[in-house]
Each structure stands twice: as structure tokens, then as C-alpha cells.
Structure 1
Amino acid sequence: MKQDDSWNMDENDVEWWNSYTRLFVQGIYSKNPKKRMAGLYFRPISMEATSFYKSCDFNLLLMNTKVQMSLLDEFCKTYNQAGRRPCQLFFKVEARLLSHMSGQLIALMDNMHSQNIELTLDLNLPRHISNDKEWQRSLFKIADGGHMVCLGGYNWKDNESNSFHMVNELFKYVRLGPPPSNLAEVNHFIDTCFYIKEKMSAQLILDRIQSQTDLDIVCRTPFFALMGDYISTAYLAKSMEDISYKVML
């Protein structure tokens, strides 16, 4: 493990392993009443997730992800049995692993598909690899296999709507948020959402909805699905009870 000054854990410590194999589930509200949707992600219990993943060197992150995929496989089987509707699950993966793990991820998605589970990769797009040809080849390989990828981590505040570029064939979904807290930014946010939907032909998943005000704003956009603590809080995947939504749209 590559460490910073605040990192004092031994990678062989069992407690450390447990700290990043905790699977969290957050319900996603879909406009399609026939589909159950949720986001799946792993996060450390006692540290900030972004710092944790940045502190992992490549080999440790690779090993970490393989453990997560094993746990994910078991959870998906149980989650699907908990409800009668077909389900779509979004699995967050570190983008720097994609070119090295695309085959294994495709095999996992194929396995889920055979069980009537639509597993979609959720990738934050770091600026420094957005033009990486190897990374794009991995994405095309996944898309050619009939699977879908969601682009996350897009900061709409730092970009004009017409500056948003991506390869349409690679990303079927775009996840962005939070909605603006400043009323002066609402039109910019809504314009960006319409641009992504209409010009890029992507389905919008609006994230980090924390209040009724946020909900009122996102309902003015052409959203595909909504997520955030105001919609459904994330919970530790200990039991497989159905996700209940806090709000009615």
C-alpha cells in the first residue's frame, strides 16, 4: 500500500480487510415502475473513501476489487430473489483498473445477465485518462459485449453544457449532481441536463438529492432516475430486505 502521513494500517490486518469490503446499497428511483434499481459501492468504515482509494497502489486495488466482485456476486443473487421485478444494479469501479480487468468484469456481467440481473458499471471519469486509447478500447469491448457503462463524477458547475464531450457508444448513462444550492445556477444545471439528454443521447441519473428543494429542481429535468439520501438512504448490505423510498414523485 502507498501511504500518506495519516495512514497507519497494515495491509495484512484482518480488520483492515474488513474495512473496505463493506458493501453499501442505495436505492435508485426509476421512472419505470417495472424495474428495481440500486447503486452498489464499497466504502471504508473509518476513513474517507476518496482518500482510501487514492492511497491504494495498483496491485492492492486490483486485489481489493477481486474480493469486492466475489462479494458482489453473492449479494446480487440474493437481491434478485428478494423481489419479483427485474433489477438493474450499478456497480462502482475504479477507472484505472478497467483496461486490466475488462474480461473479468464482462464475465461477471454475463453471469448476472443469465440470472435476470442487469449489472451496469459506474465509472468516474478522471481527466487524465479521458483520452487514453487503451481505456477506450476496454470500454468498447464492454459495450460490444452488450453491457452498459454509467459515467459518473461529472462536475456540471465547472463546464458549460456545450463543452460536455464523450463517445456516445460508450456511455448509456450519465450520473451527475448534486443539484445547485444557489438559485442563480439552476438554469445552468437544467440546461446541462437537457444537453446531455438530447445531444448525447444519454440517460440521466441525478445524484445526491438531499432535500425537497433538490427534488423540485431535478423534476424540471429529463431525468431517467434519481438517487440520494432524500430518495433512499444507503444501508449496509447485511440483509436483503426490499428498498423503500422516502418520497413519492
Structure 2
Amino acid sequence: MTFGLPDYLRMLRARGPRLPLTHFWQAHRFDLQNGTDTHVWQPKDHYSDRPKNFEHGVLYMASWTNIIRTATREALDHLNLPATDVQFTDVGCGKGKVLCVWHQMFGNDAHLTGIDYSAPLIDICASNLAKLNAQASLHTCDAATFTFPTTKPTTLVYLYNPFDEKILSQVARNLSGVPSVVIYNNPQHLSALTNAGFSVIRSHAGWHPNATYALLSNGP
């Protein structure tokens, strides 16, 4: 699947010039600069596999670069910890855009983990990371059954609205007892986290769902 002029025209007709310009600047440009493949969205009917809980998942779409960077800095400011003391985990990592940006921000100081239920997307993610000489622990698995590592004092979890409330509620339960801060981009099911004991520490309402996020913590 490719992304080209018809897609930009579709964005222009739907939302005016701001959306196609932002997509280019915050998604497409990243791939042009790094030789990666992250910006092309993937609707669910274009998936070649149908993993467990596929019906609860959301299509793949890359987060915007500035949202990843800004929200990550805010999360680390809240934690008041260096990157070496944080487990960075992208749940629903897709093609690996967040992991790539984290590597650019922190290099080998960041211990990166990515999970996704789609094996082909994990393969693309691994290829993108290799192009940046980035190391990450990648898992093809169901997020509802994933056991979060506890080798670091705190876990930073990134979610770009990867699935519905049912799966998110289970992920929140899996994080019980794991000191963590969650970056929830496009937070469609925020109550699934707050009902599990997470508190909102910051909310940012952007002009577009992709520019909207919340930071939540299950600790102080």
C-alpha cells in the first residue's frame, strides 16, 4: 500500500490544507529523512493476518513526531528520572514510529520494547529499527496477555488508540503493580485507565485527534 497525491487530496477535501501539510511535516517527512516506512496508514481490511482479538484492534496509523517528542519529555519531567531508569514500551507499536523516535531522542540509554499482534507489522518495525541501528525487544503477541517487564524502576507506556475499551481495560489490569506512566495519544477510552486506578496528570486537547493526548500515572 502506498501513500501519494490522492491521499493528500482526500485530506485536503476533508479537513482543508492544515491536515495534509501536517501529515507531510509530522509523518511523511520522517520517512524521507530516515529511509523508514512508517507514515503509510493501514486499514484493517489491508492486514494480511487475523491475529487473536483482531476484532478489537484499530487500524495502523503513525503518531505525529512532535506529539511523541513533546509527550515523552512531559512524562519524563513528571517521573524526574533519566532515560536509563525507564522501560520504554509501545503497546501496538505497528511499524515502529514511536520506537524510532525514542531511539533518536535517547540512543542506547533507552531500553525499548514494542508489542503488536500483527507479525507482518512487527517485521516492518524490525526493518525500520535496523535502518536506524536501533535495538528493541519486539514481541508479536496479544496485548491483553502481555506481561510488562519490571527490570526498570518505572515503565513508560505509549498507546496510540490501538484497540477498544475491552482490551485497554485488560492492559490496565496487567499494569497493576508496575509503576508506570501512560502516554495515551487520541485517548478514545480514557475511562478504561482511570477505572483501573490511573490518574490523569496532564491533558492536551489538539486541533485534531492525532494531536490530542493524555498522560496518566498509577503512582504518585
Q: Tell me the TM-score normalized by structure 2.
A: 0.35
Q: Which has the higher contact order (CA 8 A, sep 6+)?
A: 1
Q: Which has the higher helix share?
A: 2
Q: Tell me the TM-score normalized by structure 1.
A: 0.32
Larger radius of gyration: 1
